[in-house]
Chains A and B, each alone.
Chain A
């Protein structure tokens, strides 16, 4: 592992809490690492666990799902489904040899811009520790 290794992390953020929290981090000019790329979904419950596998296959070194705090979901219970699916998927990925540090989940509300930065820093640090993700690498899929 070279010292220059910068992990590439894909984040799935729900529109109402975490994406808004990320926007607030921007509005407050909270600087964080550019390693993170964000995909907006309406609810963390939308995140099909296969998206995580797909991201790791494509070459992402880490993934993050972030939604509203438990009980605050804009769609009542989507984040609970997300949490259950996530836990299962992380166990399965660990079982096939993926460092669980690559697979992350957090709750960030629309008012927690500062927390968003902390989550990013932590996610990046964990992915750095895990090293480049090469296990699933394959030809780039052409959708």
Chain B
């Protein structure tokens, strides 16, 4: 078909009024029909609709078109749609060229005449390229029927369970010693007041025991290579200094640790204490102890007491092993789900709320540990305990402050964190539950109770005698220097009555927002993900491809993509699992057809392309040229991703990426370069 003379069909889309209201579509069509090689030029309201696509199909069949140009939206939007149209009509899908006259013309230019001129030029450039397009073969590769899940919070756990339940292998990699993520730290969940641990722990156990799941905790992905369907990952299993096959989780080691009760527990948000050999929390999965190498005296100082490490002596199973080393594991998987979660906003970045200064100003996550029955205070909201965790007082006047680190340009976070309004309402309810006499005030900018059952819950909390004051506090400070007096002053303007208030409280809870993880860069570098302006990972399309990434075969789940509550996270995790399952279950995937190729007779074997190829897809091989053995480049099409760096480095033009060859780009330059 490619040998025949080009017979081009140009289809200009009105896109309702999106294009038609700015660009003079009939004028573009008239101009297009005068261009060389153009046999048919038409306009239609919605080219992407069924009748629009049928128009193309009919013309291919009846008029023998062998090139198609659709002038409409961005090829990033509808190139796959129209490729399919061509395929269905029996034409090679790579005979399609799109002219972007919506995103890059009608939507960005106001002057109708200029926009129309530009649209004409864009169509002309597309025609110039279409004349020299070639048919390409799409290759199918097998998909390794497995998935790698990064992160074992609720998102990672749910995605892993869904894929494993469908009967496929899943590798779960978690950085910390236990699965569970942030959800395991929470006490109750809004708006139903389910106990977080009660609904999460069964899933944590399932993920550890599932025959199809290989769980790697205290591990990190070190390197990833390959492509959709055929990824290879190297995972570093960090040394726990405890033999997990021997550890019974009895906890005698932790009791005997010389630093027992002297190291702040990360799980308890530094309110509780742990040992150097520790289980993050009692329900941790796996229930295996880990030695913190930075705190352990034996590992950091080389010496622990006069008699040597007490933990090793106490362990009857003989599980403690200070000689253990990191282990590297290589795995192969067809798909990857990134579910790395979030960090809470660092309250120290809002010094006006004095979180760093006063013990009775705490963050929302610290509050969760404080009221949790399994927390360091056994569920009593005790403040001001001494170093041994004794004493303390119960607050009488509690303040909650909304939007700390969210909707705040001064700290660089313009977005709403979506969970703070409701978790603060829930926490206000918990205080009302535990301290019926307490005076509770919530300072808010807006209350966004948008989810199922949220508004009803917010209403209930207000009826329970929680006062909502509309105002964003400017400052929190201590009433006087007396160490026995815990009174704090919250300075705020009630914006509904326009009154300046200085309210007294003895506990302030900051509704800290959600932020991208501090180590987000590592994941970006590993998987080549992009970030949106808020710093969270960017999905392939904000509406229609919310779990896909720009890299085929890699999907997103949970808060690493943006702040969300537990139901939304679970829903997205199920979405990511189903997207991964589509690839795994079909077992085949089409790989990039737009890869580079070498015209070996023009290749001089210099090897520049071999050096620049980021994927190691090119090698030099021997070729017999009339008895002389010379080196020429050869492309491994399975590894090539079609970036074209090789073509820009090539001195002779022997290596070219298909569909973006020099001879296909230069005609575009020739059309667009001319000043009109």
Q: What residues make up the interface of A, taking CB atoms closer than 8 Å to B?
A: 7-8, 10, 15-17, 19-20, 22-23, 25-27, 29-32, 34, 37-43, 45-49, 51, 54-61, 68, 71-78, 81-82, 85, 109-112, 132, 140-141, 143
On whether the beta carbons of A46 and B102 are closer than 8 Å, the reply is no
- Shortest Cβ distance from A33 into chain B, in angstroms? 8
Residue of B76, B111, B532 contacting most chain A CB atoms (<10 Å): B76
Chain B residue numbers with a CB within 8 Å of A81 are: 612, 645, 648-649
Contact indicator A19/B76 (Cβ below 8 Å): yes
**Is A40 a contact of B75 with CB atoms below 8 Å?**
yes
Complex: A23 Cα to B78 Cα, angstroms: 13
Q: By the criterion CB–CB under 8 Å, are B109 and A34 in contact?
A: yes
* B115-126 contact mask (Cβ, 8 Å, vs A): 1 or 0: 101100110010
* Chain A residues within an 8 Å CB radius of B533: 111-112
Task: Kindly list chain B residues whose C-beta atoms are within 8 Å of the C-beta of A17.
Answer: 530
B interface size (C-beta, 8 A) = 59
Residues on B lying within 8 angstroms of A by beta carbon are 74-77, 100, 102-105, 107-111, 114-115, 117-118, 121-122, 125, 128, 524-525, 528, 530-533, 538, 550-551, 594, 612, 614-615, 641-645, 647-649, 657, 660, 662-663, 665-670, 672-676
Contact B666 A43 (CB under 8 A): no
* Cβ–Cβ contact A111 & B667, under 8 A: no
Shortest distance in angstroms between B617's beta carbon and chain A's nearest beta carbon?
11
24 A-B pairs within 8 Å (CB atoms) are namely A16-B530, A25-B108, A26-B108, A29-B107, A31-B110, A34-B114, A39-B669, A41-B660, A42-B642, A46-B643, A46-B657, A46-B660, A55-B673, A75-B643, A76-B614, A78-B643, A109-B530, A109-B531, A111-B530, A112-B533, A140-B670, A140-B674, A143-B666, A143-B667
* CB-nearest residue of chain A to B532: A111
The 5 closest A-B pairs by CB, nearest first: A26-B103, A58-B673, A46-B644, A45-B645, A75-B643
- Report how far A103 CA is from B370 CA in the complex, Å: 60
Q: Check B103 against A10 for contact (C-beta < 8 Å).
A: no
A26 contacts across to B, CB distance below 8 A = 74, 102-104, 107-108
For residue B107, which residue of chain A has the nearest CB? A26
CA distance A46 to B645 in the complex (A): 5
- 20 additional contacts (CB under 8 A) given A81-B649, A141-B666: A7-B675, A8-B674, A8-B675, A10-B672, A22-B103, A23-B74, A26-B103, A29-B108, A30-B108, A32-B108, A34-B108, A37-B125, A42-B643, A48-B662, A55-B669, A60-B669, A72-B524, A76-B528, A111-B538, A112-B533
Cα distance A81–B551 in the bound complex, in angstroms:
21
- Give the docked Cα–Cα distance between A72 and B537 (Å): 12
Question: Secondary structure of the B side of the interface?
Answer: helix
A49 adjacent to B528 (CB under 8 Å): no
Q: Is the CB of B665 within 8 A of A51?
A: yes
Question: Are B118 and A34 within 8 A (Cβ)?
Answer: yes
C-alpha gap A75/B647 in the complex (Å): 14
Interchain CB contact under 8 A, B674 and A58: yes
CB of A37 within 8 A of CB of B614, answer no
Query: A110 to B538, Cβ gap below 8 A?
Result: yes
- Measured CB to CB, the closest approach of chain A to B353, in angstroms, equals 30
Among residues of A, the one whose C-beta sits closest to the C-beta of B612 is A81
A29 CA to B660 CA in the complex, in Å? Answer: 29
Alpha-carbon distance between A13 and B553 when the two chains are bound, in angstroms: 24
Contact: B644 with A45, CB < 8 Å? yes
Question: A41 and B103 in contact (CB under 8 A), knowing A10-B669, A17-B530, A34-B111?
Answer: no
Residues of B with C-beta under 8 A to A73:
528, 614
Complex alpha-carbon distance, A118 and B594, angstroms: 32
- Measured CA separation A30–B110 after assembly (Å): 10
Contact A8-B643, Cβ < 8 Å, known A23-B104, A25-B108, A110-B530: no
CA–CA, A20 to B642, complex, Å?
Answer: 18
Chain A residues closer than 8 Å to B530, beta-carbon distance: 16-17, 68, 72, 109-111
Contact of B647 among A16, A48, A109, A112 (CB under 8 A): A48
CB distance from A113 to the nearest CB of B (A): 9
Give chain A nearest CB distance to B616 CB in angstroms: 11
A20 to B539 alpha-carbon distance, docked (Å)? 12
Cα distance, A78 to B644, chains bound together (Å): 9
Q: Taking A15-B76, A143-B670 as contacts, is the C-beta distance between A42 and B121 under 8 angstroms?
A: no
Assuming the contacts A34-B114, A55-B673, asked whether A47 and B648 have C-beta atoms less than 8 A apart, the reply is yes
Please determine whether B670 and A8 come into contact, CB atoms closer than 8 angstroms: no
Q: Which residues of B contact A30 (CB under 8 A)?
A: 108
Residues of A with C-beta under 8 A to B673: 8, 10, 54-60
Which chain B residue shows the least CB distance to A117? B108
- Please determine whether A58 and B114 come into contact, CB atoms closer than 8 angstroms: no
* Shortest distance from the beta carbon of B498 to any chain A beta carbon, whole Å: 35
Interface centre among A17, A74, A82, A140 (most CB of B within 10 A): A74
> Using Cβ atoms and an 8 Å threshold, which residues of chain A touch B524?
72
Q: Is the CB of A38 within 8 A of B100?
A: yes
Contacts A22-B103, A42-B660 given: A75-B645 contact, CB under 8 Å? yes
A57 → chain B, closest Cβ, in Å? 8
Q: Are B648 and A46 closer than 8 Å at their CB atoms?
A: yes
Instruction: Provide the residues of chain B in CB contact with A38, threshold 8 Å.
Output: 100, 104
Q: How far is the CA of A31 from the CA of B77 in the complex (A)?
A: 20
Contacting residues, chain B, for A49 (C-beta < 8 A): 648
A3 CB, nearest partner CB in chain B, Å: 16
What is the distance, in angstroms, from A75's C-beta to the closest C-beta of chain B? 4
A37-B122, A46-B645, A143-B663 known; A61-B107 Cβ under 8 A: no
